[in-house]
A and B are shown apart, each in its own frame.
Chain A
Amino acid sequence: MGVEICVEGLTKSFGHQVIWQDVSLTLPAGEVSVMLGPSGTGKSVFLKTLVGLLKPERGSIKIAGQDITKLRERDLYEVRKLFGVLFQDGALFGSMSLYDNIAFPLREHTRKPESEVRRIVLEKMDMVGLIGAEDKLPGEISGGMRKRAGLARALVLDPEIILFDEPDSGLDPVRVAYLNQLIVDLNAQIDATFLIVTHDIASARLVPDNIGLLFRRELVMFGPREDLLTSDEPVVRQFLNGRMQGPIGMAEEKDAAQVEQELADLGNGAGQNAGEESTTAMTPRLLPSPGVTRPPRWQAIAEREVETRRKAEPHGEGEPPDQAEPPQKTEPQGEAESPRKKGEEVADA
Chain B
Amino acid sequence: MSLSPTGALKHSGSLFAMALDVLRTLPRRPFQLREFIQQAWFIASVTILPTALVSIPFGAVIALQIGSLTRQLGAQSFSGAASVLAVLREASPIVTALLIAGAGGTAICADLGARKIREEIDAMQVLGIDPIHRLVVPRVLATMLVAVLLNGLVSVVGVAGGYFFNVVMQNGTPGAYLASFTTLAQLSDLWAAELKALVFGAIAAIVASYKGLNAQGGPKGVGDAVNQSVVITFMLLFVTNFVMTAVYFQLVPQRG
Contacts and interface: CB of A to CB of B under 8 A. Distances in A.
Interface stretch (A33-41, A103-111, A119-127, A178-186): A103-111
Interface stretch (A56-64, A91-99, A253-261): A91-99
A83 B125 CA distance: 11
Interface stretch (B115-123, B152-160, B183-191, B224-232): B115-123
B122 A91 contact: yes
A83 B122 CA distance: 13
Given A91-B118, A94-B115, A94-B118, A85 B128 contact: no
B126 interface: yes
B126 A83 contact: yes
Q: Is the interface of B mostly helix, strand, loop or mixed?
A: helix
Interface in A55-104: 73, 77-78, 80-81, 83, 85, 87-89, 91-94, 104
Nearest to B121: A91
B123 A87 contact: yes
Q: Is the interface of A mostly helix, strand, loop or mixed?
A: mixed
B127 A89 contact: no
B37 to A, nearest CB: 15
Contact of A53 (B114, B125, B130, B134): B125
B129 interface: yes
A101 B127 CA distance: 11
Interface in B108-152: 114-115, 118-120, 122-130, 134
B119 A77 contact: no
A309 interface: no
A51 B123 CA distance: 10
Contacts of B126: 51, 53, 80, 83, 85
Nearest to B133: A77
Contacts of B115: 93-94
A48 B115 CA distance: 17
B118 A80 contact: no
B118 A77 contact: no
A149 to B, nearest CB: 12
Interface of B: 114-115, 118-120, 122-130, 134
14 contacts: A51-B125, A53-B126, A73-B130, A77-B125, A77-B128, A77-B130, A83-B126, A85-B123, A87-B123, A89-B119, A93-B124, A94-B115, A105-B129, A153-B123
- Report, nearest first, the 4 A-B pairs whose CB atoms are least far apart: A91-B123, A91-B119, A81-B128, A85-B126
